[in-house]
Amino acid sequence: MIDPNHPFYDALWRRVLIPAVCFVWVGIELYAGEAVWAGIVAIVGLFATYKLFFDRKASQDVKPREQSED
């Protein structure tokens, strides 16, 4: 569902914004009295948080040095 290693998710603000929107939506659903939908969206937000922050591999910004033939 979410590929946390895709270059789209390299920017921290994108990884923060996606779960944040989910949790804001949870508040809206709770305010509207829809506990079931709030629970569903909370699970989606928790899943997104896990995938984007804990299941993500470190980016390979630094290229390995080439071996020189001496």
Residue 47, number of CB atoms within 10 A of its CB:
15
The reported pLDDT for the residue numbered 49 is 94
Which residue type does 31 have?
Answer: Y
Percent of the chain with pLDDT over 90: 64
User: Residue ranges per domain, the chain?
Assistant: 7-54
Helices (H), the chain: 12-31, 35-49
57 band by pLDDT with thresholds 50, 70 and 90: confident
pTM of the model as a whole: 0.76
65 band by pLDDT with thresholds 50, 70 and 90: low
Residue-wise pLDDT tens digits, 11-45: 999 999 999 999 999 999 999 999 999 999 999 99
